[in-house]
Amino acid sequence: MASTFQSDLLCDRVAFLTGGSSGIGLGIARRFAEYGAKVALFGRSQQRLDGALAGLREIGATAPAGYAGDVRSYEAIQDALGRARATFGEIDILVCAAAGNFPAPVLGMSANGFKAVIDIDLLGTFNTCRAAHEHLRKPGAVILNISANHAHIPYAMQAHVCAAKSGIDILSKVLALEWGPAGIRVNCITPGPIDETEGMRRLAPTEESRRRVIQAVPLGRMGTKDDIAGLALFLCSDAASYITGGIYVCDGGQSLSGARDLGAAWEAGRR
């Protein structure tokens, strides 16, 4: 059954989200639509986009749009942003949530494997932010980059992701510094383990590996996509109008205990 919008908090605002066809990105898109935003999704799979758009329409979103492409291609992002602007007008909110991941030790990872994650996560975030600048409604525009707590704690089996997310965090701060005078706010969310996402299905594929991950979280559970969406809603609303350049950790306290031997949990889960 379709629901009605819960609030007009983002009424008539336009949000463009990469990685928006699934996982955290789609969770944020749904929350934004519930609060009145017009949403445009960008993702690699047209089939996934079609499913995501159908779900958004079910909750009452008005004419959500989806564009298939790869964030590693600057031209593909440029084209999608141009089409979104032609449909909706200037963009108020940009969310960069596209990400790639797989567990592997450094000596078990090829240069191409390392580069693939850097290109999707870090280069993809740069491409999207850089290409979106001309389409943003300024002042008052908001950019929200989705990183991970890999940015500030080392994880075994995740050198590629740690490097990419660290880059996203500092890129977000530089953009906040450079684009602040134009009225553009730039913030970053660093989630911890979020249930029912592709990342956790890969990194904790069994009940044993899930148990080990949860043991490392002081709050005693994995996060949900709603946990991230709620924080995203706040950061992209007028309630956060004086907040920029921030890195907001949402991981149930997991990062408080330092380095993570994800490899042990993953290997235990395979046995």
pLDDT tens for residues 172-221? 999 999 999 999 999 999 999 999 888 788 878 888 888 988 998 999 99
Residues 6+ apart with CB under 8 A from 110: none
Confidence class for position 262, pLDDT limits 50, 70, 90: low
Task: With respect to residue 5, please indicate whether it lies within any of the assigned structural domains.
Answer: no
User: Does a structural domain hold residue 8?
Assistant: no
Specify the pLDDT at position 6. 55
pLDDT of residue 167: 98
Count of structural domains within the chain? 1
Q: Which residue has the tokens 């990872």?
A: 109
Confidence check: pLDDT of 136 > 90 = yes
The pLDDT value recorded for residue 3 is 46
Asked whether residue 6 is domain-assigned, the answer is no
Residue 65 lies in a domain: yes
Rg over CA atoms, the chain: 18
Residue 2 is assigned to a structural domain of this protein? no
pLDDT exceeds 70 at position 269: no
Question: Among 253, 268, 244, which Cα is nearest to 153's?
Answer: 253
Q: What is the CATH number of the domain that holds 82?
A: 3.40.50.720
The pTM of the full predicted model, rounded to 2 decimals, is 0.92
Asked, as a colleague might, if the bond just before 105 is cis with ω within 30 of 0, I would say no
Contact 14, 93 (CB under 8 A): yes
Q: Does any domain span residue 1?
A: no
Instruction: Tell me the two tokens of residue 235.
Output: 């950061």
Give dist(CA 44, CA 69) in Å, integer. 5
Mean pLDDT of the chain: 92
For residue 241, the model assigns a pLDDT of 97
A 10 A CB-CB count for 139 gives 12
Indicate the residue type of 76. Answer: A
Q: Find the mean pLDDT for residues 142-153.
A: 94
In the DSSP assignment, the letter for residue 180 is G
User: Per-residue pLDDT for 131 more than 70?
Assistant: yes
Question: What's the confidence (pLDDT) of residue 261?
Answer: 66
Strands (E), 135-266: 142-146, 185-191, 247-250
Domain range for residue 37? 14-270
Cα(210)–Cα(178) distance, integer angstroms: 41
CB of 25 within 8 A of CB of 17?
yes
Asked if the structure places residue 3 within a domain, the reply is no
Q: Is the dihedral of CA 256, 257, 258, 259 positive or negative?
A: negative
User: Residue 5 and residue 12: Cα distance in Å, rounded?
Assistant: 12
- Asked if 198 and 22 touch (Cβ cutoff 8 Å), the reply is yes
Tell me, what's the pLDDT at 1?
37
Lookup result for tokens 């005693």? 220
Which of 35-49, 70-84, 255-269 has the lowest average pLDDT? 255-269
Does 9 map to a domain?
Answer: no
Query: Average of pLDDT values for 214-243?
Result: 95
